[in-house]
Amino acid sequence: MASRVIVHIDMNCFYASVEQVFDVSLKGKPIAIAGNPKERRGIIITCSYEARAFGVKTTMTVYEAKKLCPELLILPPDFERYRHASKQFFKLLREYTELVEPVSIDESYMDISELSTKRHAMEIVEEIQQRIYTELQLPCSLGVAPNKFLAKTASDMKKPMGITVLRKRDVPEKLWPLPVIAMHGVGKKTANKLATIGVTTIEQLAKVESHKVRQLLGINGERLKAKANGEDRREVDPNSIYDTKSVGNSTTLPRDETDYEALQLIIQKLSAKVAERLKAKRLAGTTVTVYIRDADWHNQTRSKSLKNAIAGEAEIFEIAWSLFTKHWDEAPVRLLGVTVSNVTDQQHITQQLGLFDYEEQIKDEPIVELMQQLERKFGKEVIKRGIAAPTQGKYQANTSFSKDFLDDLKE
């Protein structure tokens, strides 16, 4: 069986690069994309390599970035401009193969295994990079490997405009000496847990006894160990854009907030937006999560899982506010977020019958029996209980910008 050839394409400083294409006078200058500093939304979203040379980084405040680079040009984000550029990027990739899996607005996997039987893989990859640069005027880095994990790892090795090939046999030399936190899929919390069993490098993770890492991290531990050995069986899945796992909304507060009623109102508004988005996508979920960031940038994430899926504003707010009041330590709050996850299509939800809804649902039994008879005779989906009319609204497509661009690719 011929080995797979997976490519990971990562656009370099995407938002900043798009702005430099739109306004050529910005090329070669240190620029950063950020929100409105007056409203405390002045966090650097991304910046050009010219700005990075001064030490400017993503998530810095505008104030911090300006101290490092007084000449830094701050631009507000133009999401429609970035969305348009992203659509062009993915359209170009699909000229080569339908096996394109968008990961975010500026990142994608491709499976060119079949193409590489007719043309050399590196010839294809170099052509893709050059076309993105000449036709869209956007720089990108590409990783080429036999699986998604190694391809993703490789694309990070040379930036900007790099092409890196990473084979499984290269793993002991190129990956094993690195600290475990440098590995994709390992964050600070996971790295700290692994340190408790003496795993601090990727090599140690690759060689640790399976039962130890499974006991510590569950099935994810075994997956991480496999990746540390260069193994990853995940397919490039073009249909992944149809999978919504969560719907959320967050906001950075105009000022550090401690007022109880003000915080309650913010969570209520966030819950309303999440409910509107769930309604627009006809989804409901079983887990509600509240995200709290205080003035010192300490983050708290608290969740509650439910027996039945919910989608209503009142239900979401009740749980979100309960989580917040239970876990808030009264430190000034900088950012709040509410998310509903483990979502599924509302048509597929089966609620457990309760004492009060049983009588209502039993009335529908003759209808259900009739539908089942028709389906047995004419096939599934021949008749539906109701027609789900297209919903309209301000938040119809907006789970978050980084995810919502995927809706463009479903057309």
pLDDT at 345: 82
Q: How is domain 179-228 classified at the CATH fold level?
A: DNA polymerase; domain 1 (1.10.150)
**Domain positions in the chain:** 6-11+80-169, 14-78, 179-228, 244-409
Contact, 225 vs 202, CB < 8 A?
A: no
Contact, 14 vs 138, CB < 8 A?
A: yes
CA distance 191 to 182: 9
Q: Which residues of the chain carry a pLDDT beneath 70?
A: 1-2, 36-41, 242-243, 347-411
| DSSP string for residues in 279-333 | HHHTEEEEEEEEEEEETT--EEEEEEEEEEEE--HHHHHHHHHHHHHHH--SPPE
Q: Which residues contact 133 (CB under 8 A, 6 or more apart)?
A: 139, 140, 161
Asked if 107 is an active-site residue, the reply is yes
CA distance 334 to 223: 35
Contact, 142 vs 163, CB < 8 A?
A: yes
- Nearest Cα neighbor of 164 from 3, 2, 7 is 7
Max CA-CA distance within the chain?
73
Task: Supply angle C-alpha 276, 280, 281, rounded to 5.
Answer: 120
The secondary structure of residue 201, as a DSSP letter, is B
Bond into 160 cis (ω within 30): yes
Q: Indicate the annotated binding residues for Mg(2+).
A: 10, 106
pLDDT at 352: 45
Instruction: Tell me the CB-side half-sphere exposure of residue 241, using CA atoms within 13 A.
Output: 21
pLDDT at 392: 43
Q: How is domain 14-78 classified at the CATH fold level?
A: MutS, DNA mismatch repair protein, domain I (3.40.1170)
Strand order in the sheet with 283-294: 246-257, 333-345, 283-294, 299-310
Contact, 43 vs 32, CB < 8 A?
A: no
**Does domain 6-11+80-169 match CATH 3.40.50.720?**
no
CA distance 289 to 272: 14
Q: Indicate the annotated binding residues.
A: 10, 106
Q: How is domain 244-409 classified at the CATH fold level?
A: Dna Ligase; domain 1 (3.30.1490)
The secondary structure of residue 197, as a DSSP letter, is T
CA distance 23 to 86: 17
Mean pLDDT of the chain: 86
pLDDT at 372: 59
Global pTM value:
0.70
19, 50, 107, 276: the catalytic one is 107
pLDDT in tens, 84-95: 999 999 999 999
